[in-house]
Amino acid sequence: MADVRRAAREWAGSLDAAPGRALYLVGLSGGGDSLALAWALSHEAGSLGLDIGAVIVDHGLQPGSFDIAQAAAAEAEALGLKPVLIKSVTVEGTANLEDVARVARHRAFTEALRETGAQGVVLAHSLDDQAETVLMGLTRGSGPSGLKGMPGQDGILHRPFLGLSRATLRQALLDAGMTWWEDPHNADERFTRVRVRNQVLPVLEREMGPGVAQALARTAELFRSDATALDDEAATWFEAHATTLDDGSWALEVADLEQVSVALQTRALRMLVVRAGGDAPTYAHTAQMRRLLEQWKGQSAVDVSGASVERRDGRIVARASR
């Protein structure tokens, strides 16, 4: 219990000072992790000059979901959180359900912030969630972008519990005499994360010894530190070397790219696509762009995440293709 309240207190104390009492919303589902977060912040945030509300997102993915959302709202109000919002979203299709639901949920968070004037949404992702994220990124060959896991702060999203295990959060609720709702999706092995949680990580713990989740979370922290330094270096280099052409496209000189490391090259090429109006390129798309540098044989432009990228007049040139 003490660890959970301490983590909430340390997060609140780490925020940049804002005039008046800043408002933050807990992303509350009624499950054990988010309820532990709401409980801890209800005890700690007031003394540190914060107001805490809640936003409950009803995805409509199971019977009685609105009743569950209302129950979560009642729990938030009983803890003294204010305001408490329920946002209903539509999640369409069955492919990539996790990703579609995440996008809809984050859109609802943005709406809630706009409606309430809150500074951010606080999420209860735990050390176990971080370990699962890193392991999934590893198996997908995501590189540093996947292995660095979830940040403690990502724009409007705050995650104060990344250093605490799921068991620690649940124990805090038990010690406080509170019960929570178990989302049946957390046992639905159609979802990759659930299979990693229930099948893969237990095997690793059994075969390699305890502490696998902690080691994976530590890996994320180390990768994040290194990746951030490289990202910052690449951003500085890109701003110094990227140019705009008369047709509105963006370009980098091949000679300049050839003088820097592969790590910086790949980041600069991804930035080029995004600056031209495309989405962040995949690993395969980045490899295609690097072939324009290393295996240039006069090939035509390649389509990369909503941008067309070609080698022209000694430059790598990207323009929006949509």
pLDDT digit string, tens, across residues 186-217 = 777 778 888 999 999 999 999 998 899 999 99
pLDDT digit string, tens, across residues 145-171 = 678 889 999 999 999 999 999 999 999
Is the confidence at residue 127, as pLDDT, over 80? yes
DSSP, res 19:
S
Q: By the 8 A CB rule, do 316 and 293 touch?
A: yes
CA 206 – CA 21 distance, rounded (Å): 47
Strand residues in the chain grouped as ranges (E): 22-27, 50-58, 84-88, 120-122, 153-154, 157-158, 243-244, 250-253, 302-304, 307-312, 315-320
Structural domains of the chain, with CATH: 2-216 (3.40.50.620), 242-320 (3.30.465.60)
Is the confidence at residue 88, as pLDDT, over 90? no
pLDDT digit string, tens, across residues 230-239 = 999 999 999 9
CA 150 – CA 130 distance, rounded (Å): 6
Residue 108 binned pLDDT confidence (cut-offs 50, 70, 90): very high
| Those residues with Cβ within 8 angstroms of residue 51's Cβ, 6 or more apart along the chain or in another chain | 21, 22, 23, 24, 45, 82
Q: How many CB atoms lie within 10 A of CB 57?
A: 24
pLDDT of amino acid 64: 76
CA 248 – CA 152 distance, rounded (Å): 36
Residue 267 binned pLDDT confidence (cut-offs 50, 70, 90): very high
What would the DSSP string read from start to end of 186-248? GG-TTSHHHHIIIIIHHHHHHHH-S-HHHHHHHHHHHHHHHHHHHHHHHHHHHHHH-EE-TTS
Q: Give the torsion sign (CA, 230, 235, 240, 243).
A: positive
pTM above 0.95, yes or no: no
What would the DSSP string read from start to end of 164-186? S-HHHHHHHHHHTT------GGG
Instruction: Report strand pairing: 153-154 vs 157-158.
Output: antiparallel
Cis, bond preceding 83 (omega within 30 deg of 0): yes
